[in-house]
């Protein structure tokens, strides 16, 4: 099985034009086998671009195609409105890769989703997306580095380390059920706990790899959840061990404030929760390979 998306998921790409990144990645997702059924652009409704029917609104696209998921690739000033448009149209799963959305816009949009559209899940913003190898790929992750069949589920704040984890496991013949890039912004629509809970419930996921980074307290919260609720093996890596306090490292949410949010504090919390904690990404992959071998 997989979590959040599968081979039945149908996708509308918000932000399609002949030269847009939305079209580029949407076509890559379609070539992978994902059921990309429509695009949207308020100025190009009625056009067909690269075989993809384009609608002026998400509501029109959903009515015509029955799309259940959305892939948002629009500039930061319009991303929050695009998320709400998708939710209002009845989309149940939204992937937003847009980087640079102001934190207060993210917080306002997230709270509106919770209050007004509780049946809609947002992944991102500022994330690589989600891939269930062999079934569905929404976002910018290359399908070439993923291996179908499980038994490992991956959740990561870092896009680049998501790709490394996928590639290193695949090279060792260890497949993945689903890989979720939750993004590194301060207000993610989907967090570690959401993914850990879903992987815990998925019968085909036998082990979980979690990749965090400095800043915030999401990893500590995840550690508490793991200790109380997760019975499957968890391998963790936390990026940013050498990051100095007060300096943002890559992501908007990756900043240490005082003694909080350090990599070591997160690593200690996860270790105390029973997780295997690696010192670098390659070691995390190696430890996971060992665990999978022991699973038989």
DSSP assignment of 88-142: HTT-SEEEE------HHHHHHHHHHHHHH-TT-EEE-SS--EEEETTTEEEES--
Residue 257 sits in a domain whose CATH number is 3.40.50.261
Domain annotation covers residue 211: yes
pLDDT for 243 equals 59
165 φ, ψ (degrees, to nearest 5): -60, -45
pLDDT for 245 equals 60
Q: So which residues are the catalytic ones?
A: 251
Domain annotation covers residue 166: yes
For 27-46, what is the mean pLDDT? 98
Domain annotation covers residue 137: no
Pair (159, 188) in one structural domain: yes
Pair (146, 256) in one structural domain: yes
Pair (73, 183) in one structural domain: no
Closest C-alpha to 237, from 279, 268, 274: 279
Pair (90, 175) in one structural domain: no
Pair (95, 154) in one structural domain: no
Q: Which of 123, 155, 190 is the last residue of a domain?
A: 123
Residue 103 sits in a domain whose CATH number is 3.40.50.720
83 φ, ψ (degrees, to nearest 5): -60, -50
The reply to whether omega before 125 is within 30° of 0 (cis) is: yes
Residues in CB range of 114: below 8 A, 6 or more apart: none
| Model confidence pLDDT, tens digit, residues 210-250 | 999 988 889 999 999 999 999 999 999 998 776 566 555 55
Q: Return the sign of the alpha-carbon dihedral for residues 3, 7, 9, 11.
A: positive
Annotate 254-273 with DSSP letters as a single string. Answer: ---BTTBS-HHHHHHHHHHT
Q: Are 274 and 227 in contact (CB under 8 A)?
A: yes
Pair (109, 200) in one structural domain: no
Pair (274, 185) in one structural domain: yes
| Model confidence pLDDT, tens digit, residues 132-184 | 999 999 999 999 999 999 999 999 998 899 999 999 999 999 999 999 999 98
The tally of domains found in the chain comes to 2
Pair (116, 161) in one structural domain: no
Pair (180, 272) in one structural domain: yes
| Model confidence pLDDT, tens digit, residues 243-293 | 566 555 555 444 444 445 788 889 999 999 999 999 999 999 999 999 999
Pair (114, 148) in one structural domain: no
Tokens of residue 229, six digits:
């609720």
Domain annotation covers residue 48: yes
Closest C-alpha to 265, from 296, 222, 231: 222
Q: Are 113 and 86 in contact (CB under 8 A)?
A: no
Pair (213, 241) in one structural domain: yes
Domain annotation covers residue 215: yes
Domain annotation covers residue 136: no
State the pairing for strand pair 234-239/175-181: unpaired
| Mean pLDDT for all residues in the chain | 93
Q: Which of 92, 123, 154 is the last residue of a domain?
A: 123
Residue 296 has pLDDT above 90, yes or no: no
Domain annotation covers residue 129: no
Domain annotation covers residue 53: yes
Pair (38, 85) in one structural domain: yes
Segments in the chain forming alpha helices (H): 21-32, 58-65, 76-88, 103-116, 159-171, 192-201, 218-229, 263-272, 281-295
Q: Put the strands of the sheet holding 93-96 in their side by side order.
A: 48-49, 52-55, 35-40, 10-14, 69-72, 93-96, 121-123
Q: Are 243 and 263 in contact (CB under 8 A)?
A: yes
Global pTM reads 0.94
Residue 199 has pLDDT above 70, yes or no: yes
Question: Whole domain around residue 189: which residue ranges?
Answer: 142-295
* Residue 181: other Cβ atoms inside 10 A: 30
Q: Which of 123, 154, 185 is the last residue of a domain?
A: 123
């Amino acid at each position: 099985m997989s979590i959040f998306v599968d081979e039945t998921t149908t996708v509308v790409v918000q932000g399609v034009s002949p030269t847009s990144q939305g079209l580029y990645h949407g076509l890559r997702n379609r070539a992978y086998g994902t059921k990309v059924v429509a695009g949207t652009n308020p100025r190009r409704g009625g056009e067909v671009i690269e075989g993809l029917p384009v609608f002026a609104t998400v509501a029109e696209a959903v009515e015509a195609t029955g799309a259940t998921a959305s892939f948002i690739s629009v500039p930061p000033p319009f991303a929050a409105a695009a998320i709400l448009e998708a939710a209002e149209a009845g989309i149940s799963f939204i992937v937003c890769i847009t980087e640079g959305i102001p934190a207060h816009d993210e917080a306002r949009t997230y709270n509106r989703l919770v209050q007004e559209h509780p049946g809609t899940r947002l992944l991102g913003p500022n994330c690589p997306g989600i891939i269930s190898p062999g079934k569905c790929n929404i976002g910018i992750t290359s399908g070439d580095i993923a291996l179908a069949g499980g038994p490992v589920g991956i959740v990561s704040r870092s896009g680049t380390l998501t790709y490394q984890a996928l590639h290193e496991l695949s090279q060792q013949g260890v497949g993945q059920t689903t890989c979720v890039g939750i993004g590194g912004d301060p207000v993610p629509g989907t967090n570690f706990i959401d993914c850990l809970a879903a992987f815990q419930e998925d019968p085909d996921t036998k082990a979980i790899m979690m990749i965090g980074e400095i800043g915030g307290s999401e990893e500590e919260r995840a550690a508490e959840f793991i200790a109380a609720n997760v019975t499957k093996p968890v391998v963790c890596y936390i990026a940013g061990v050498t990051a100095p306090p007060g300096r943002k490292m890559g992501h908007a949410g990756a900043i240490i404030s005082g003694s909080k949010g350090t990599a070591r504090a997160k690593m200690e919390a996860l270790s105390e929760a029973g997780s295997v904690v690696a010192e670098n990404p390659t070691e995390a992959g190696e430890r996971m390979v060992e665990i999978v071998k022991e699973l038989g």
